[in-house]
Amino acid sequence: MSAESLEKIARNKNVARAAARQLSMEQLNKLAEVINEVIEQKQEEERRRQEEESVKARKLEEIREAINDAGLSLDDLVGEQPRRRRGRPPKNKQADS
């Protein structure tokens, strides 16, 4: 089943009913179990992702505080960035006469 057909079923009850008519009760129950497992896995992945983001944000804030406490700025850490050349190089080099 394609993602598009799953989206149609998810958006419209009538489409879901029509698809369900093609399945037996046993198949529908099995489908419900599988979908519930997938939903639980997706929720767990989302919880883990949010936890990782909050840990990252917490660490970033700690680093910012340490930088401020040391009296440094980001410019002190990064240093001067090399300047980028603008423009295009000449297509043909001309010999000096």
For the chain, the first-to-last Cα distance in angstroms comes to: 73
Question: Quick one: which of 8, 9, 25 has its CA closest to 17?
Answer: 9
Contact by Cβ (8 Å): 77, 67: yes
Contact by Cβ (8 Å): 29, 37: no
Q: Which two tokens stand for residue 79?
A: 């240093």
Question: Quick one: which of 78, 55, 52, 56 has its CA closest to 67?
Answer: 78
Contact by Cβ (8 Å): 47, 41: no
The tens-digit pLDDT sequence of the chain (97 residues) is 678 888 888 888 888 888 889 999 999 999 999 999 999 999 999 999 999 999 999 999 999 899 889 888 877 777 777 777 777 777 777 766 5
Contact by Cβ (8 Å): 19, 8: no
Domains in the chain: boundaries? 3-78
From residue 1, alpha-carbon distances to 6, 8, 10, 13, 35 in Å are 7, 11, 13, 17, 14
State residue 2's pLDDT score: 79
